Amino acid sequence: MMARIAYSLLLYLLTPLIWLRLLWRGRKQPEYLRNVGERYGFYGQRADSGENRPILWVHAVSVGETRAAQPLIEALLARWPEHRLLLTGMTPTGRAAGREVYAEACGERLIQAYLPYDYPAAVDRFLRHFSPAFGVLMETEIWPNLLAAAQRRGVPVMLVNARLSARSARGYGKVGALVRPAFAALAGTAAQTAEDAQRLGALGAVAVDVCGNLKFDVVPPADKLALGRDWRQAVGNRPVWLAASTREGEEPLILAAWRKLAVPGALLVLVPRHPQRFAEVAALLQREGVPFRRRSEGLPEAGDAVWLGDSMGELVAYYALADLAFIGGSLLPLGGQNLIEAAACGCPVVIGPHTFNFQRATEDAIAAGAARRVGDVDALALAVDCLLGQKSTGSEASGETELAAMRAASQAFAAAHRGAVGRTLALIARTTGRAAR
């Protein structure tokens, strides 16, 4: 209790910095300055206030978690057809992704809102306003005041698709007095791997089950796959290398590797992870004198060396277009990004040395032959040159090259790890019990 009081006091003291952060982000994304009251637990009059339908609540902090939750949310809504879905997040891009993915399928069953900052009064207002039957937190969203308030109000909250790297576990361990009660307040936990389960249990989580990674159960949208095939037809026979979900500081390294390629006519498709960086990366390409075109300006032309993916929700299409993908966040010590979506699209992957946030999935993909790890920029350039060279010479068509083998291994790897949704749904139903009725 004393640790949580100190934590809450620190949150209140940091309020001016939180506002400055919102204003700073609002400079590039004005959406951050909308619905600000929700971040403090003020939601106004609900349009559905006359309804008595129970609410199931899923929290997905941003775009990746929102899309990863899709098969589970579909299963939850089918399992509890009388419930409405409250989908909370923390970012405007995640909120937009929620509208794109769920609005048509859910219709009036969908309610979207920001989860409030973890002030005691704010989380109380949130729970009082929506009164969810139960809550599902995606991945590693641990908020001490929120979980304490839910426990007091008898709202079961589960952590699903949970992952915890060794580095993050060490960080949580330094504030054990604060986080151990929070983990212990969870009604149940669905971990991705046995290693995740062990680390979560060591931090106080109880009833931890290993259920696998929900992202393996996400089916690439057919319309996005078709869009990627259309792009492929427009690009023609040019070898295509995709640098997906790149993070700050990586684009100059990607360009350095690109300059070392000997493959003639290769097209680099560069897709930054965060939309607020699109203009920044475009400015970098201009400074470097690289001929490029933005996705928002149309399809790449023959004279374009780089196609800048400045669009949201089209990563599947980029994977369908590409002959080979590098997954960002891994050349620098940022922990990497998930390669599962690329594998599901049958796109071979090259990954850098820093993948501690997705260690098991990455290692399994490498072991399956779906991915290749490189240690630095020079090794990245060599790997891309070698693999794309097989495309440019036409030898890939024989099916006997490493690139062709990696493509087949990618799809097999994704298919072999499906089933997490069923296991997670069974755990939720068993854990929430009467509260979900």
pLDDT digits (tens, 9 = 90+) for 208-226: 999 999 999 999 999 999 9
What phi, psi does 243 have (nearest 5°)? -105, 100
Q: Work out the average pLDDT over 293-314.
A: 95
Query: Which pLDDT does position 434 carry in this prediction?
Result: 62
Q: Work out the average pLDDT over 161-175.
A: 92
Q: Work out the average pLDDT over 413-435.
A: 90
pLDDT band at 400 (very low <50, low <70, confident <90, very high): low
Query: Which pLDDT does position 398 carry in this prediction?
Result: 47
With a CB cutoff of 8 Å and minimum separation 6, the contacts of 124 are: 41, 149
Q: Work out the average pLDDT over 347-371.
A: 95
Please determine, for residue 48, whether its predicted confidence score (pLDDT) is greater than 80.
Answer: no
pLDDT band at 106 (very low <50, low <70, confident <90, very high): confident
Query: Which pLDDT does position 50 carry in this prediction?
Result: 43
User: How many angstroms separate the Cα of 114 from the Cα of each of 7, 34, 44, 68?
Assistant: 21, 10, 13, 18
3-state DSSP call for residue 359? Answer: helix
Please determine, for residue 396, whether its predicted confidence score (pLDDT) is greater than 80.
Answer: no
Query: Which pLDDT does position 51 carry in this prediction?
Result: 62
- CATH 3.40.980.10 assigned to domain 222-416? The reply is no
Question: What are the pLDDT digits (tens) for 116-166?
Answer: 999 999 999 999 999 999 999 998 889 999 999 999 999 999 999 999 999
Query: Which pLDDT does position 221 carry in this prediction?
Result: 92
What phi, psi does 141 have (nearest 5°)? -100, 95
pLDDT band at 303 (very low <50, low <70, confident <90, very high): very high
Please determine, for residue 58, whether its predicted confidence score (pLDDT) is greater than 80.
Answer: yes
Domain range annotation of the chain = 28-212+419-436, 222-416
Q: How far apart are CA 70 and CA 101, in angstroms?
A: 8
Residues noted as catalytic: 65
Give the residue, 357 or 322, on which the prediction is more confident. Answer: 322
Query: Which pLDDT does position 436 carry in this prediction?
Result: 61
Please determine, for residue 395, whether its predicted confidence score (pLDDT) is greater than 60.
Answer: no
Residues paired with 324 in a beta bridge: 241
Domains 28-212+419-436 and 222-416 share a fold: yes
Instruction: Give CATH for domain 28-212+419-436.
Output: 3.40.50.11720
Q: Nearest to residue 407, comparing CAs of 345, 340, 344, 346?
A: 346
3-state DSSP call for residue 58? Answer: strand
pTM: 0.85
